[in-house]
Structure 1
């Protein structure tokens, strides 16, 4: 305690050490704040008056300008929008640097329903400053009319994210139809809540010659054809409206897609693929997929990690029938099957026998209602060729009543399992005899 008092008497706790930092360090600190918070630091001291003007990140969030609770009505909203527009204008005019690293605009109007065009007009001015990253999020906005040409011709962009949710109504997407595209440096493109014509998507992809990451979420696009030698990561979580999905990406490493419920999915030329996640929804016309789905799974034979999430009860039978001529999954180390029932075990059985390097098997959300089958008896496996000597780890989650039946089925195909993890217990070094002892 004596040392603390002595130190305090020297005034060490009263020194403003942050203000004494070099200008570039203080500017870097402000880059982690929103633009409004950064501007507010001008009142700290003379040293801070213009520091915010040198920050290269512009982050505008409409929720930083909350209306007072006692204000209501159309006039109050108009005043609120006017103040927000004036703030954006003043920031752009008073900046000391002409460079922008990140431009972030969050317009979530669930509470205020502002006229977003008042702010969207400034997007073109920001794009002229050459930002490296642009992130625009619109939530339930009115009168949206973004300057898409300014965004899609900003050659300095490396990362572009547009999240455009216009209405609580289902399938209400914002149309993106750029007249021209010049994104020569863009490596990451993330679109959420948009609709595009076939020609517009082709134009967009052709204008991104070095694209490495493509994310399409909640989008309405009927035909998607992706042919790229640079793409490494593809996430497509809006497959319900796709009539045709063709992917040819020789350098793709990660793939996460929903198989179209109405159209045709074709995966070609993917020798570099390491990690794949495939969601196969319940299908109305399952007959179309009797030949399509096995070919789709075959195209993933080089992966090291595979996740299959499916709601189609006939999938295992269809795949088992057509898997007889399938190539071996010689690189597969981690396999996850989601929404599997015991009658679906033919699918797990196939991978156990065709994946010589398989180390981890995860069965998530195993369904009791899909598990109407007889339990394997204690005499041992009768129809299984024990191809696998050892499997390191098995993880099981779902309905606990079918855990033992599933383990029995696994032990019909694997001599020794290192560990079996369930929500209720963990078994180490499990064999047929030890499990039933």
Structure 2
């Protein structure tokens, strides 16, 4: 291809771009980080102010290599030249907030005046660690806001009517020093909220008790995540959950807080990660506290899909006896259990018994990261074959996945039992963990293929 042809092709490409309306180009620039969109102004005179039409504004102080004054001046300039009255997303991350809050709040007010739909704020103060950042007085009255992400402790005025953010459907809150009174007001004041997540990171403090009431009649999705660096039995935190239309619930809480969950008839999917295997192994958790997991299970008993991580199983197993009042999961069709390294398969027979409609079962075996964490255990690793085969095995269970098996002796009995008693099983998928495989293998692929099968349709796959 000669130079003339190349020149003609470039000119043709330039002509195509020149025909695109400026507002369309501005919209395309909205998909770039704001700092890069602004940099396109040097391309030509036509591009000089195209970026002023972008409807996504994202400012991150990390992009300015610690030059806080340059960062603040940049934000001021962008907002001064911005020419649209609509902002789709406004994101602000500033990790060295000093006496700049009035200036920062002006930026937030600007976003509100442009009918911002999605707002993300992460503002960390270097002067007043642990003190919530106060947002503009009229912040909660923003009519246009649909999604709000508060990345650290904030406070703002909530009207006496306890109604705010009339259009807000998605809310994410991060807390390190929770203000119970403010947060409880917020949790109960969003009239159309559908998706709510709260993350409490208490690795560097958080020694105070808190009690949260989440009362949201429109809520469909709820995520609660608590982070601690160690177990503190003296802490006694509480969550009261009143969400009659909830469809999805996820709880991650090593501290084993007290969860009071009203019956949720609409629940479809639940993920429960409560407690920690190491805390159970070291006898740090009282029986009374461990039994709190049972109350959570009762709250999600209408779920169609349930995932219980190994920490939850360890906590529940530590207090389990046959007289326990387990709920029956009449609607449960998919169950995933983490097989912890303290109690193993102990609860599997019981969960099969209380899940009569189960169609899909996933078992993921966990193990300690370090050999010194190994503990003495029975050869059967907690497995005791049920006297009578659970109803779901004979009528409904069609798929079983077993992950991270060690090729150990206890697995022989479990795999054999499930294959022999699952009368309508169509597929068993097995994955061995290459890291944890034993020198002396008690279970291998050929052995499994020879096990009797209760279902003629059953196919076995090794991955």
TM-score by length of 1: 0.79
The alpha-carbon deviation at position 375 of structure 1 amounts to 4.2
Q: What 5-or-longer segments of structure 1 have no aligned partner?
A: 68-79, 165-173
Note the 1:176-255 alignment, pairs <5 A: 176=155, 178=157, 180=159, 182-219=164-201, 222-238=210-226, 243-255=237-249
The alpha-carbon deviation at position 364 of structure 1 amounts to 2.2
Does residue 383 (structure 1) correspond to residue 387 (structure 2)? The answer is: yes
Does residue 433 (structure 1) correspond to residue 418 (structure 2)? The answer is: no
Note the 1:34-433 alignment, pairs <5 A: 34-66=33-65, 80-108=67-95, 117=101, 120-122=104-106, 123-138=108-123, 141-142=126-127, 145-147=133-135, 149-164=137-152, 174=153, 176=155, 178=157, 180=159, 182-219=164-201, 222-238=210-226, 243-259=237-253, 261=255, 263-282=257-276, 284-289=284-289, 292-311=292-311, 313=314, 315-316=316-317, 318-322=319-323, 326-327=327-328, 329-341=329-341, 343-367=343-367, 369=374, 372-375=377-380, 383-385=387-389, 387=391, 388-389=393-394, 390-397=397-404, 399-401=406-408, 402-411=410-419, 414-415=422-423, 417=425, 418-423=427-432, 432-433=451-452
**Cα distance change of structure 1 residues 322 and 177 upon mapping to structure 2, 3 Å threshold:** farther
Q: Is the 8 A contact 1:384 1:413 kept in 2?
A: no
State the distance in 2 between where 1:186 and 1:118 align: 25
The alpha-carbon deviation at position 81 of structure 1 amounts to 2.5
The alpha-carbon deviation at position 182 of structure 1 amounts to 2.2
Q: Is the 8 A contact 1:386 1:415 kept in 2?
A: no
**Cα distance change of structure 1 residues 264 and 94 upon mapping to structure 2, 3 Å threshold:** same
**23-32 or 402-411, which deviates more:** 402-411
State the distance in 2 between where 1:149 and 1:365 align: 51
**CA deviation map 1:102-157 (0-9, x unaligned):** 11112245xxx877648524323333332111111246745584425443332321
**Cα distance change of structure 1 residues 427 and 37 upon mapping to structure 2, 3 Å threshold:** farther
**212-221 or 99-108, which deviates more:** 212-221
CA RMSD of aligned residues (A): 3.5
**230-239 or 115-124, which deviates more:** 115-124
**Which SS does the other structure have where 1:265 is aligned?**
strand
State the distance in 1 between where 2:398 and 2:124 align: 48
**CA deviation map 1:15-47 (0-9, x unaligned):** 313343122220111101122222222222232
Q: Is the 8 A contact 2:85 2:113 kept in 1?
A: no
State the distance in 1 between where 2:341 and 2:69 align: 58
TM-score by length of 2: 0.75
Q: What 5-or-longer segments of structure 2 have no aligned partner?
A: 229-234, 369-373, 434-443, 455-463
**CA deviation map 1:71-109 (0-9, x unaligned):** xxxxxxxxx322222221122222222322211112245
**Cα distance change of structure 1 residues 345 and 30 upon mapping to structure 2, 3 Å threshold:** same
**Cα distance change of structure 1 residues 244 and 6 upon mapping to structure 2, 3 Å threshold:** same
Q: Is the 8 A contact 2:169 2:193 kept in 1?
A: yes
State the distance in 1 between where 2:398 and 2:449 align: 10
**Which SS does the other structure have where 1:33 is aligned?**
coil
Aligned length: 404
